[in-house]
Amino acid sequence: MEFGERIKDQRELLHLSQEEVAKRLRVSNKAISNWEDEKSYPDTSTLIDISNLYKIPYDEFLDDYPSLKESISKDKIRNNFLELNYGIYAIFLLALTISPMNNGFLFEILIVGILLLRIACDYFTKKTGLLKSNHDLSLVNRNSSLPIKIFFILGFTILLFLLVWGIYGIFTDEGNFNLILSGVFLEIMTLSIYIIDKFNIK
């Protein structure tokens, strides 16, 4: 029995609809359909939830379905690159934040180098197929909860204000302070997005 058929039979045995399972697992109905048709596989954390919901041992899934195990391995690599990308981006923003306090030419080279490293990581993940399409910002993810969407709307509104204030400040004596404050807030938003993405907060 294939993986998709196995979870479909177990769902029907428990008298659950795809909509009910999707709600319990906090995923879309389409995701459930794709798993049962084996068009895609769940990630590690979701597979654990499926295991608990259907009362099927997690290790049994990995032992019985090699293609699922391979998908889980790729998912782990993908998550490592996701963390690397967030880390590089955070370092870049930190360098950008303190750049107004340093006018050295080497400092600008450092910023460009960090940015190029980030671009290289993005290019690698896309070329190797490791970049997941469902890593959308929670603001545009239709499965996100209202509090998460409000948080992002408020955060990006404040960020837009700080950036406009920072650009205006370039032409005044407060330019450096405005840009530094904008950079600090960008760091906070980046950390927030990482936590939401890392722990799959909906």
Residue-wise pLDDT for 111-157, tens only, equals: 777 778 777 877 776 777 665 544 444 555 555 677 777 887 888 78
pLDDT value at residue 99 = 67
Residue-wise pLDDT for 65-114, tens only, equals: 998 888 888 777 777 777 777 788 778 777 777 766 665 566 667 777 77
pLDDT, the chain, mean? 78
pLDDT value at residue 155 = 82
**Domains in the chain with CATH codes:** 3-64 (1.10.260.40), 74-198 (no CATH)
Tokens of 1: 């029995």
CB 113 within 8 A of CB 136: no
pLDDT value at residue 134 = 44
Q: Is the pLDDT of residue 57 over 50?
A: yes
Stated pTM of the model:
0.54
Contacts of range 191-197, beta carbons closer than 8 Å, 24 or more positions apart: 191/90, 192/151, 192/155, 193/86, 193/137, 193/138, 194/83, 194/86, 194/90, 196/138, 196/148, 197/82, 197/86, 197/135
Residue corresponding to tokens 């399972």? 21
pLDDT value at residue 135 = 45
Tokens of 197: 């993405």
Q: Is the pLDDT of residue 11 over 80?
A: yes
pLDDT value at residue 13 = 94
Tell me the mean pLDDT in the region 33-46.
Answer: 90
Residue-wise pLDDT for 156-177, tens only, equals: 788 778 777 766 766 666 556 7
pLDDT value at residue 130 = 61
